[in-house]
Amino acid sequence: MKENKKVIRKQQQRNVKAKKVKISKQNRKSIVISIIAFIIVAYLLYTIYLLIKEPTNIFTVEEGNLYQEESDIGYVIRSEKVIKGQNYKNGMEQIKAEGERTGSNENIYRYYSINEESLKQKISELDTKIQEIMTNDKSLLTTDMKLLENQIDEKLESINKINDMAKLAEYKKTIEDIIAKKAKTAGDASPQGSYLRGLIEERKQYENQLNSGAEYVKAPMSGVVSYRVDGLEEVLTPNNFETLSEEYLNSLNLKTGKIVAINEECGKVIDNFYCYIATITDSEDAKKAQVEDQVKVRLSNNVEVSAEICSITNEDNGKRILVLKLSDQVEELINYRKINFDLIWWDSSGLKVPNQAIVQIDNLNYIVRSRAGYLNKILVKVKKQADKYSIVTSYSNDELKELGLSDKEIDNYKKINLYDEIILNPDISKAD
């Protein structure tokens, strides 16, 4: 019995020992796995760090664009003439729609006559009476009358397809003329001719009163018609660029991007060939700018247009007021007086390379190309350079001669090409 107990105890001790050994092995295995995992993670993190810090020392040459630009606020200046008649309190009717072109001396809108609503009501009542007589009188079913009715029907059918206010007014006038002609024909042919002619005559008198009481306003010059009048038309003009100052422009208290409201009392005609944008800037490019320099302007609609600096005024605080002259997108700016825009000093396109790849030696620029394990030093011409990239090209033979290269050097001259692989931060001494 005692022997059996001893055997059992020994077996239990062996089991405990075996279990401890097993746990110890598992612990060692876990530690080893953890160490390996840590090393792998550390390596990956270090590799990522290196990639972020220095992604690669090779760059593939591609086509690209570079811009030197700045975002500015501009004041829109136009050559424009406000027209306001005597009867502006009566209300107005547009003859030329907003943004429509007009010739000099053409009617662009009219002021209502004093009793216009009353006269229109009387004319409408007479039209109803005249129409009733013409409808009920069978003697009026003549070929001429049918022809006039067909003309009216054609105009009415066409008018549904028209959105242009000026065209609608034109069709309306044509229909009224045809109806008047129809009424006159009816008056001559109808047994009730004397009564009908009396109604027509009465209508004509009311029309004369309506037209004589209305004031028609004509365009003083050719251009684009607008009813967005803000009172600055005679203040911000192309005739006083030299008087513009930052203090004065700020004193106008204009809100950037705000659309000028439609005026109910007057309109204006705008020269649609040119407009101007005045901007205040203290950028380095602005400090070097000169009158007649060619630049570009990018408007809020993302359209880029050419512009010319036509005036520069220096402020005491070091800022400059530049006035840019535009001949495109003039009508796009009619709605605004103060805008956001991008002033593009220059743009260039071609082979785009990082500035890190360019090494300057004796005022000449070089890149190092890697091809099939060989490194070649290539002389390049830098067309334009921005903060991080440059647009480069190869020299022509004539340009190489001007730089003083020998005929042999010119014959062996290697050119930079699209998709070349070039070295960043190159050691120029290692290249051929």
pLDDT at 138: 53
159, pLDDT greater than 90: no
Confidence of residue 43 (pLDDT cuts 50, 70, 90): confident
Q: Which residue has the tokens 């003439």?
A: 81
- Distance spanning both ends of the chain, measured CA to CA: 96
Look at residues 274, 262, 395, 386 and name the one whose alpha carbon lies nearest to residue 328: 274
Rounded Cα gap, residues 282 and 317, in angstroms: 9
Confidence of residue 54 (pLDDT cuts 50, 70, 90): very low
For the CA atoms of 104, 326, 248, 261, the dihedral, rounded to the nearest 10 degrees, stands at 60
pLDDT at 205: 64
The pair of structure tokens assigned to 233 is 């038309």
For 172-217, write each residue's pLDDT tens digit.
566 566 566 655 555 555 555 566 667 676 677 666 656 655 788 9
The pair of structure tokens assigned to 369 is 């190309």
Is pTM beyond 0.85? Reply is no
Contact 306, 122 (CB under 8 A): no
Rounded Cα gap, residues 240 and 220, in angstroms: 21
70 burial type by CB count under 10 A (0-12 exposed, 13-18 middle, 19+ buried)? middle
Three-class DSSP category at 61: coil
The pair of structure tokens assigned to 138 is 């069978």
Look at residues 367, 365, 361, 369 and name the one whose alpha carbon lies nearest to residue 382: 365
238, pLDDT greater than 60: yes
Count of residues in the chain? 432
Top-confidence residue, 204 or 97: 97
Look at residues 307, 286, 284 and name the one whose alpha carbon lies nearest to residue 295: 307
